[in-house]
Amino acid sequence: MSDSRQRIGWSREQIARNIAADIPDGSIVNLGIGLPEAVVDCVPPGRELIFHTENGLLGMGRSPAAHAADPELINAGKKSVTAVPGAAYFHQADSFAMIRGGHIDVCVLGAMQVSQTGDLANWSLGDGDAAPAVGGAMDLVAGVRTIFVAMAHCTRSGDPKLLESCTMPLTGQRVVQRVYTDLATLRVGREGFEVVNMAPGVDHRYLQQRTRGRLSFNDDPT
């Protein structure tokens, strides 16, 4: 997306819309830092999703206008948010009881790498990382059954982030169900990444060139 060589692909907002479209009505949803934060503003009309933010709010609403921002009402990415009617505030131990206790339905996380078996790496670059920062990601993958990843298909320098196996330290093993990128939406299946759909202008060859894991294409129109 930020790679100027990539002229095709979905925008960040379209990726967020793709994700929101796949989350069932009435779900309790946690959003990670970065690209996933945009999902809150992309809920399809007529669908009610309840957003949990692990710093202590259930019922997180859309981003406020700049003048209405409250420094004590923020999301996990420390950006200003709003609280919907019916929202609840709680402390950190309660918030992670909701997560570890299996009370959250879906979590959308950013990632540095995802393997074709669903391993996730998103907290440390590895040895020599200036300051690794884990936040709540390991708790979320341990406690939420449905984990979606939202990320750019490749790094800024063009390296694939969808791999046979992760080279960076793991956040969790076999935890990711789906990956939403600027180029495609993919399911983590038994035989690697199953392509659900591709952005306009992306074909099999283009996608495989930018993916190091095994891809399978289901071109059956049904």
Partner 1 sequence: MLIGGFGAAGSPVELIHALIDQGASGLTIVSNNTGSGHVGLAALIEMGRVAKMICSFPRTSGSTVFQDLYQKGKIKLELVPQGTLAERIRAGGAGIPAFYTPTSVGTRLAHGKEHHNFAGREYVREHGLTADFALLKCSLCDRYGNLVYNKTARNFSPIMAMAASVTIVQTQVYAECGALDPEAVVTPGIYVDRIVTIENPASESSLVQAGVAYP
Annotated active-site residue 54? The verdict is yes
5 contacts 166 by C-beta, under 8 angstroms: no
Between 87 and 196, CB nearer to partner 1: 87
Residue 149 three-state SS:
strand
| Per annotation, catalytic residue among 13, 37, 54, 164 | 54
Between 123 and 148, CB nearer to partner 1: 123
Q: How far is the CB of 91 from partner 1 (least distance, A)?
A: 4
179 contacts 149 by C-beta, under 8 angstroms: yes
Interface residues toward partner 1, by CB under 8 A: 53-57, 70-74, 78, 83, 89-93, 95-96, 99-100, 124, 130-139, 142-143, 169-173
Residue carrying the six token digits 């406020």: 64
Could you say which DSSP state residue 127 is in?
T
Q: How far is the CB of 183 from partner 1 (least distance, A)?
A: 28
Q: How far is the CB of 186 from partner 1 (least distance, A)?
A: 22
Contacts of 9 by beta carbon, 8 Å cutoff, 6+ apart: 1, 153, 181, 182, 183, 199, 201, 202
Between 73 and 196, CB nearer to partner 1: 73
Residues marked active site are found at 54
